Structure formats: C-alpha cells, structure tokens
Structure 1
Amino acid sequence: MPEVTANGITIHYDDHGPKDAEPILLIMGFGAQMTLWPMELVEALTGHGFRVIRHDNRDVGLSQKFDGVKAPGLLKLTILGKLGFTPKVPYTLADMADDSAGVLDALGIGQAHVVGGSMGGMIAQHVAARHPDKTKTLTSIFSTTGNPKLPPAKKEAIQTLITRPKSLEEEVLVEHGIKLSRAIGSPGYPAEEERLRERVREGVRRSVYPEGPTRHLSAIVADGDRREMLKSITAPTLVLHGEDDPLVPVEGGRDTAAHIPGAKIKTIPGWGHDLPLELVEDLAAEIAAHAKAGTG
C-alpha cells in the first residue's frame, strides 16, 4: 500500500498517469475515503494528460487514525461558535491542508493543481491560502465559505450525514451508505442501484471508522467563516457546483467564487452532492481546461 509521512502522520495515497505530467491533487470530503473520487474521473483526467494523485485524509480510509482523541459534540461546537469562541478541536482544516501539502512534498512535487470536493474543497482553499507556492490552480467543487448567512443544507441530507449506522455489520453499513448517497445525490442523475450498492460495499470493505467523521465535523465547525482568507488566494480558481445540491446549496459555490479574486464559476442543473457517471467527462474537461489555462 503506498503511504507517505506527511505533516508528521501517515497518509495513504495512489498515483495515476505519467510521473512527468502536470500533477492534479484530489482532496476528498467529510468522512469520505479517497475512492469516492471515481476511477472514471481519474482516468478521464489522465486522458487529458495529467498525473492524478488521490489521498485519504487523516482519520479516514487507510490513513492514520486519531484513536481516543475526543472531539466536542455538535451542540457545544455550535453554541461556542455563536458566542464568538473558537472551540478547541483535535485538529483543524488548516492541519489537514498541511497534510495535503505534505503529500506533495513527500512525492517530490513542487506545485500541483489542487482540486477539492465538499470538505475537501474547504481544505483545498486552505492549501491555496497557506501554500500559494505549491498551488498552481485551485478547483473548489460543491464547497462553501463558512458564511453563516448562507442557506443551510436540507434537513434530510444533514441528518442522514451525521447519523451513525445502527451497527457495524456489513449489510447495515451498506444500507446506510446507500441511504446517504440517495439523500445527498443528484436528482437529475440518480445512481444506478447495482453500481451504487457495489461501490458502497467496496468502501465498507476497504475501511470502516465511525470515529473519524466526528473529528472531521469538529474541524469544519471550528473553521468558521473563511471569506477573509479566500480574498488572499492568488491561484487561478474555478468553482464547480450543482444547482440542486441538497447538502451544500449552490449559494455556497457562488459565495466562494465571489470572494476569491478572479474566480470563475460553473453551475450545473440537476447536479447534487456527488460525482455521477453522466457528468464525469464534463467535470474532467472543466478541471483539465482550467489547469491547462493556469499552466501557461
């Protein structure tokens, strides 16, 4: 299993395409393994001439876990945030951004096109702000700014996301994963049942670690409003967002683009909070075109 030591911890990754090609770093979101970036997207990007690196964030998949480290509950985090206090959390999104930058260092990559989805988009924003020398371009996918005035997620989507499965039995975990995928997925591009079940089962068999998402959530909540930080980003930026995203409404993408100087945004009707096969080629083309324009 390919692993590197990055930012002082062990990070699992994979690497596709020619080693001398322009690198794209894919950063996945809340509680999600790197394999949620579908291989069809990876192959489409390598087909555009890129080297594509995925990695498991800390506390998820095959990367290092923070066993026994307590995170404050959601209620406490929310109350402290509303009172203007920064809660003490096990680690921050900035720490996770340093993990991603550390992966590039460990692989001997000076600069990359940084692409993040959902929480991974938030992490990618931090990479671009904290490590501008490493960020050739930024693509923020169905992510947001932390602006508290933006519309919230749909109730069913957020409840399903933060509800733990009833047990760790494989079939229970698979059904829970399918329910989550349906709750946050694209209304215009519903996943085919058997393929969805197979992908969820593969993820369950690869890794199950219910404690990680609790600490991921605490990092998101503690991060607060990133709008001022976003103004400092100098990397050419593309924002991609679904117009029918039930978890991170499209206003989050528009707010992201509005606060990063020179950012461009593309929204897609019918797209939710997933990466449907029907959109893979279009998304890869958008990412590739943006990266190539930023390379010149």
Structure 2
Amino acid sequence: MQTPRLVDAGGLTLAYETFGSPDAPPLVLVVGVATQMLGWPDGFCQALADDGFHVIRFDNRDIGLSTHLDDAGVPDLMAILSGESTAAPYTLADMADDTASLLDALGLERVHLVGWSMGGMIAQEVALRHGARVVSLTSISSTPAAHIGKPTPEASATLMWPAPKSEEEAAALMVNAYRVLGSPAYPHDEEWLREVGAESFRRSNKSAGKVRQFAAILVSPDRRPGLAELTVPTLVLHGEEDPLIQVDGGHETAAAVPGARLVTWPGMGHDLPRELWPTLIGEIVEHARRSPKEES
C-alpha cells in the first residue's frame, strides 16, 4: 500500500498517489461523489500503468486526506433539489480548477484525463475551462447535467444513507450500496468493497463533505452548450444498467461533443466490474494512444 503524498494546489491540500514511471505519458483519474481515490482500484490503476502511462489518482476536495471545507457549513440539499435554493459552497467548476491546480503542482502541462461519475463531470469541466491541458478526455458513467440520466429512487436513496460510525459499518455500507448500484450481470467483489469501505473510514470519517460535493453537482449548469464547442478528443463509456446515472447521461454527453465515441455495456451498473477491466482499460488506452502526442 502506498503512502499518499500531499501537495498544495490552489490553496487547498490535495492527496494523491501514482502508478508507473514518471517518464510515461501522464493519465489523471478523477473520482466520483463521496468517494475517495481508493474508488479507483489499485489493480485498475496498475493495469493502466503497465500499458505505458504514469497514472495519478487523488482525493477531491472535501474527501479523504485532502482539505475538508468544514467552515463552509452543510448546504440544504432538500431546498436545492426542490428548486428553492441554489446556494452551495462551491461548484464543479471549482473542483475542475482544483484538478488544474494539481497539474500545476505536479509540473504536468498536458494530461490524459479520465473521470468516473462526478469525476466525469469534473473532467468535462476541466476540458471546458482548461482545454489546452487535456490531451484526451474519457468520461465514464457520467452526464453533462444533473437532470439527465437521473438516478432511480433506490439508487438515489443510497446517497442519503446515514454515515457509518465505525470501520465495520463503513465496510458493510459499501457492500450494501453496491448491491444497489453495482452491475447486475457481474459478480460484486465484496471483499474489495469491504476493504475499501474500512480503509476509507480509517483515512477520514468526516461526512459533511459528501453533502457539499453533491450540492456542487446539483447547482452546476448544463455543460452541453460548452461541450458542443469542445475540440478535445472524447471517449464516453457507460453501463446500460447504471441506476445512479442512467445511460441517457452517457448518450447525451457523447451527442454533445463533436466526434465523441460512445461505448456502452449491457449488464454494467455504476461500478467498474473486474470482468470488464480488460475491455474498459483497452478502450481508455486505445483512445489515449490515438490522441495527439502530449507534451509533459
């Protein structure tokens, strides 16, 4: 297990880890809401590194070992969801700027950017706001706007479950959540889910940050007008049985970006099934290699 490194990025501290040679083309993984960098499995990251990339994963703001913005308070999600409020401490654009600041701190001029779930939304924003920094964009299980591909009631409920109070509760919560969110056609790796749940609790058991992250998703504007002008080579991957961000999110993302390629899988939910790793990683690697050469 790696010891995470900490770096100052735009006034925040971001925790990150790397896989592979620093001399290889950099590929940055952006994770989803309420999820620490551990949501990108070690084996998935190492496989990308073995295919010739310097892989960087990191904790977004308000999660894990990165800065928690506790002074910002807890937004009223019900008021935001009902349309009575648009007040949130920050937006996805701010989180995209965090990602760009991480690149600055690590001395990376241009990178391949891969985002999953909320991370895909952030990656889209990075491409819109800092397009010169992005060699290729891969958006996985994501959407261009919060109202597209809305979650099923069962999936939405998992976001509101009470925060765990122990490692054991955190492990069980992770397993139970992915019984709802995971891929119905593939086995769930419950041992890995338990390990990640428990380790995430050990790293940080603060829970208010996930509410602020969720609020950022809800108040951020529809990205489709900007995506329509995007020139970054874009790949969109999505599970056809995703209950948290339904597959419409992937279709609309791909439809918005000129020249984007869309790949969907039957039986895949809102996770990265180990059985699909060779295919998922193959798509990411092929897309990155087809994109213009980076200068790092």
TM normalised by structure 2 equals 0.94
Tell me which of 256, 260, 271 is aligned to 2:268: 271
The letter of the residue matching 1:263 is A
Q: Which deviates more from structure 2 when the two are superposed, residues 190-199 or residues 173-182?
A: 190-199
TM-superposed deviation, 1:240: 0.3
Deviation digits for residues 112-134 of structure 1 (CA, Å, limit 9, x no counterpart): 00100000000000000000110
Residue 151 of structure 2: aligned partner: 153
Judging changes above 3 Å, is the alpha-carbon distance between structure 1 residues 78 and 280 closer, same or farther for their aligned structure 2 residues? same
The letter of the residue matching 1:274 is D
Q: Which deviates more from structure 2 when the two are superposed, residues 253-262 or residues 272-281?
A: 272-281
Contact 2:173 / 2:197 at 8 angstroms: preserved in 1? no
The letter of the residue matching 2:94 is D
Contact 1:4 / 1:10 at 8 angstroms: preserved in 2? yes
Unaligned 5+ segments in structure 1 are none
In the comparison of the two structures, how many residue pairs are matched? Answer: 290
The letter of the residue matching 1:53 is I
The letter of the residue matching 2:58 is H
Contact 2:171 / 2:193 at 8 angstroms: preserved in 1? no
Residue 30 of structure 2: aligned partner: 27
Deviation digits for residues 94-113 of structure 1 (CA, Å, limit 9, x no counterpart): 01001111111111110000
Is 1:234 aligned to 2:234, yes or no? no
Deviation digits for residues 30-52 of structure 1 (CA, Å, limit 9, x no counterpart): 01001110111111101110100
Judging changes above 3 Å, is the alpha-carbon distance between structure 1 residues 232 and 55 closer, same or farther for their aligned structure 2 residues? same
Tell me which of 62, 65, 69 is aligned to 1:66: 69
Residue 135 of structure 2: aligned partner: 136
TM-superposed deviation, 1:192: 3.2
TM normalised by structure 1 equals 0.94
TM-superposed deviation, 1:3: 1.1
Mapping of residues 73-222 of structure 1, within 5 Å: 73-80=76-83, 87-146=86-145, 148=147, 150-165=148-163, 167-222=164-219
Residue 258 of structure 1: aligned partner: 255
Is 1:55 aligned to 2:73, yes or no? no
Tell me which of 11, 18, 25 is aligned to 2:21: 18
Give the Cα separation in 2 of the matches to 1:249 and 1:243: 7
Q: Which deviates more from structure 2 when the two are superposed, residues 15-24 or residues 172-181?
A: 172-181
Contact 2:174 / 2:193 at 8 angstroms: preserved in 1? no
TM-superposed deviation, 1:280: 1.4
TM-superposed deviation, 1:151: 4.5
Deviation digits for residues 174-229 of structure 1 (CA, Å, limit 9, x no counterpart): 22221112111111112133333233222222222211111001100000322112
TM-superposed deviation, 1:71: 3.6
Tell me the SS of whatever aligns to 2:79: helix
Give the Cα separation in 2 of the matches to 1:96 and 1:68: 17
Tell me the SS of whatever aligns to 1:80: coil
Give the Cα separation in 2 of the matches to 1:116 and 1:43: 17
Judging changes above 3 Å, is the alpha-carbon distance between structure 1 residues 193 and 78 closer, same or farther for their aligned structure 2 residues? closer
TM-superposed deviation, 1:295: 2.9
Contact 2:111 / 2:136 at 8 angstroms: preserved in 1? yes
Is 1:36 aligned to 2:35, yes or no? no
Is 1:246 aligned to 2:243, yes or no? yes
Contact 2:143 / 2:149 at 8 angstroms: preserved in 1? no
Contact 1:41 / 1:281 at 8 angstroms: preserved in 2? no
Judging changes above 3 Å, is the alpha-carbon distance between structure 1 residues 226 and 195 closer, same or farther for their aligned structure 2 residues? same
Alpha carbon RMSD of aligned pairs, Å?
1.5
Contact 1:92 / 1:220 at 8 angstroms: preserved in 2? yes
Contact 2:184 / 2:268 at 8 angstroms: preserved in 1? yes
Contact 1:40 / 1:280 at 8 angstroms: preserved in 2? no
Deviation digits for residues 238-258 of structure 1 (CA, Å, limit 9, x no counterpart): 000001101111111000000
